[in-house]
A and B are shown apart, each in its own frame.
Chain A
Amino acid sequence: MRLLTHNMLSSTIKGVTNGFPLKIEPQKIIERPVEFNPIFLKNMFAKLEWKPLVEASKTMGYFELPEDVSDLSVLESDEFLHKFHHALLEIHLEEGVLVCPETGRKFPVQKGIPNMMLHEDENNLRLQDDVHGASSFPKALDDIKYSKLCNPSGTVVHFYMSIASP
């Protein structure tokens, strides 16, 4: 698992309001060179949460990333981009765990593959468990526009609801 992936994942256990960032407990870290692609890096930079990336790279033993990137001119610096590239794509967590910041639940990473599946008692399997659901149902049918979702035999089996914007 690379740090780009880490920056995208969160714990989705029922009741957890902020499952991001997952804390990394590394057991085996490896580095593999990856072709440098500045366009891809700049593209990703806009979508990442920077602080968690810096923290994660420290846990993985890489301390070169700057804390403060509010000045976007760093993206013009080749030196910065190479460091960013290294942290984001070249450091791999081969074995270890990702820990949910709220519950402490450990998601194993084995052979580089994070296992994000929840156990039966951790996910929102049943409707009754959902406390926020009922209140936000749209009141009037007029508020609802339909678009269709149909089954493969071509008959429309159900309508996909979308609430009309005011």
Chain B
Amino acid sequence: MRPADLCNYPSSWFSGGSNAVSDIVISSRIRLARNVAGYEFLPCLSVERQQQLHDRLKEVLLSIDLGEKVWCVDIDHASDVERNLLTERHLISRRHAKGKGPRSVVLAGDESFTAMINEEDHLRMQAYAAGLDLDACWGRLGRIDDLIEEKIDYAFDRQLGYLTACPTNLGTGLRVSVMLHLPALKMTGQIEKFITAAHDCDMAVRGLFGEGTDAIGDFFQLSNQITLGSSEQQIIETFSSIIVPKIIAYETEARKSLLGKKPHALDDKIQRALGVLRNAHLISSQEALFLLSNVRLGVNLGRVKDINIATVNELFMLTQPAHLQLRAGKILDADQRDTLRAEIIRTRLSSN
């Protein structure tokens, strides 16, 4: 398997079916940060020792049962467009893509598990699930973490827990992140309230593509800021039973109120978006993201009947710059990308 092989398919975790929860919660992710005892953290680790550590971690990861379809990409030797593709699919971080030195990513099970070697920490593992299913993510990640622990000594301290390069990840080293689609909260001007409430609960809100990105097209990533002092189960429980159900309730309420009070305004927004997407010959990724978000809302609310949700979800992923270029088999400039993007969207949205 090569990265280029992925460019025609959406990620399994991004394309869950449609139900009341997965309309709003697109995906769940848990990440663990780990370092190996006896090795300096990456800012102070020589290139030779980085290589040594890289080879050891890769060997250990490939020797345990990670699930089906295990493969590994050498990020150091990958092309820019391959790195971007993996970033667009959330399989590696931007930091990992842009970094230096020996580093790899091990992937398994239709991209629902990834392990970055030599990122900010020696090992950063993440498990994805479609919709809201943090227990599945943790079940899987916790088991893999146990298997690795049998072969490697992690840097651990009785007081501070798992030791990480950045003190903000200390303790459990666990970051929960749920990706939310909140178009109705945005349209009804309540998104600021959501962001303030999230900050009050020590949560961070980011855009679709993680740190340093603005939320575009009504997609938000919500994650915990605090990793020390609460157990893994407590952190996960806070999301699954307290925070996320509340957000789902607010968004659902806002959708109902839009449908009840301003059905024409809502339909106008959805149909205009669809009109542009079905007819445009040039479209930027930002505009596509924004319009597809409105169409997604329309499909989920039953206002658009001739398009299924899987098609819409798929388009979010397949129209990203690196996906387009790998599909075309060559580097495209912005104009060429906008043309190809518009073409793909036109074809997909008219054929069903």
Chains A and B belong together in one complex: no
